[in-house]
Chain A
Amino acid sequence: MNLTLSGLVCGYGRRPVGPVGNRIWSDAGLHALIGANGAGKSTLIRTLAGLQPPLAGTVHLGAHDVHRMRPAERAQLVSFVASTPPSASGLTAGEVLQLMDASDAERNRALEQFGEAGWWSVRLSELSDGQRQRVMLARAFLQNTPWLLLDEPTAFLDAASRTRLFGHLNELAARGKGIVITTHDLHLLHGQPALRSVNALGVQWLELPTEASISDWESVL
């Protein structure tokens, strides 16, 4: 299922903050959005996820316009992890995962993969930001959608968890999933086998060669 952007303009109110453009991303791979603070990465990824209306243009998942679908239908095609994990929820990690359609065995496995099995009965409010974010990643994984959109998923994670997360993303890509992430973590991004495109947001929206060096990527930011 392709993710197709046609004449897309993102932003709030009448003020475009994001890039303008056409793109077709085929599935089965990792697409990175990089850019300086305020370049519009979060705005763009929320718009791609159908959570924010575009100022112009469309976003299609396969044949479906993500902004014209019911939330329940959209949730079958695309999952999303916000840049800041929820801090005020009293639900336990287990209760969060139980909101997803899956078996308890699958839920436990997801929690072990992305976090730790022992968090099952710990409240989100009792976990750290990084731990919460890992629970939210497990939740999005359980949504089992063709596309996963992750807004700075590594921001709160420790070094080991970042490496582990990219390991999972490569695995998911190998199984045919499309993944979009926003990140500042160029070193970690570089050389990931699943990496299909690196998109630098700024005054212009540039697609950079995935095999270019990190300093080449940095030079356009």
Chain B
Amino acid sequence: MGWGVFAFLHVRFGSVASVWEQAWSGSGEAAAMGRTILWELRALRVVLASAAGAGLAVSGLLLQTWFHNPLAGPSVLGISSGATLGVAMAILGGTASFALFGALIGSGVVLAVLWMVSRRFQSPVTLLVFGMMLGYVVGALVNVLQVEASKEALQAFVFWGMGSFSRAQGGWAFGVVAATLLGVGWAWFRAKSLDAWTLGPLTASSMGVSEGAIRTGVVLVTGAIASVVTAACGPIAFVGVATPHLVRMAQRGRTHRALLPNVVAAGATLALLADGLVRLSGGSWPLNAVLSILAGPVIVYVLLKKTWTP
């Protein structure tokens, strides 16, 4: 419901004030222009923000279940860092059109590393330190790339890094929708296995859950979502790790079928709310700054809470 309100506000209001009235009541060129702004700019942006938020939130849920770890999420695990490195190489190397390709490869490499060492992340701290270190390494590599880059490429990269849902045209919105639908569909299909996985790998395996199938699915799904979203919107902070916790605070059901619809709705709503604040500021506030302010306290709350259950 919150999502509906935000989505309406997004389409209804914007920097061109009278668009709404023109599009519905007017005729001729002004009405056509109004409709273009409503649908191709505002509505498409709503689609991109919602799908990205929902997709990252589902990734967060899957990673938290897989790692038995409350701090797992696409940004914390360094998957976004990997995608960032790929995009940096594309943009700073002067081949911005390869950004998606770069993001896919970058996040794929990080996921492959995570895949190999995943069994060692029993404690949240190990995971956090791993993600932080990976972030530093990527930051350092990006710094090196920046020195060599042209001024225009550098500027493009810095803007990209702040995160934004403004680049919704040219199929990006639909690419993100596709990746998110894939993730939601897979998680729904595998919901019982994921529930069993919360009982521990040994028990789940004895119940007939194939560890390999779950691991492959989680890696492919979160990799696809993280790379497409990162290529389209920049490295989006905290939505993935925080949203599942917001949902767990609000509801009692912990089965994946009970969590999924609300995680999707909450992720979409959180992303739209943050984008709404960005647009209220006239587009001058960086999306990631807004998201960090909104979601950061949730992470701190989870860390301070004594018990955690996936």
Contact = CB atoms under 8 A, between A and B. Distances in A.
B203 A125 contact: no
A51 B195 contact: no
Contacts of A37: none
Interface stretch (A87-95, A104-112, A178-186, A210-218): A87-95
Interface in A66-82: 70-76, 78-82
Interface residues of A, number: 31
Nearest to A72: B208
Contact of A71 (B68, B195, B199, B205): B205
A89 B309 contact: yes
B203 A136 contact: yes
B210 A72 contact: yes
Contacts of B196: 99
B200 A82 contact: yes
Contacts of A58: none
B294 interface: no
Contacts of A79: 206-207
A96 interface: yes
Contacts of A96: 199
B208 A89 contact: no
B203 A143 contact: no
Interface in B184-218: 192, 195-196, 198-200, 202-203, 205-211
A123 B198 CA distance: 12
Contact of B205 (A51, A81, A88): A51
A99 B207 contact: yes
A82 to B, nearest CB: 5
Given A88-B68, A90-B248, A95 B195 contact: yes
Contacts of B202: 46, 51, 80, 82
B308 interface: yes
Contact of B210 (A71, A81, A88, A143): A71
B208 A74 contact: yes
A181 to B, nearest CB: 15
A49 interface: yes
Interface in B31-77: 68
B309 A99 contact: no
Given A51-B202, A82-B200, A82-B203, 5 more contacts: A46-B202, A90-B310, A91-B198, A91-B254, A123-B254
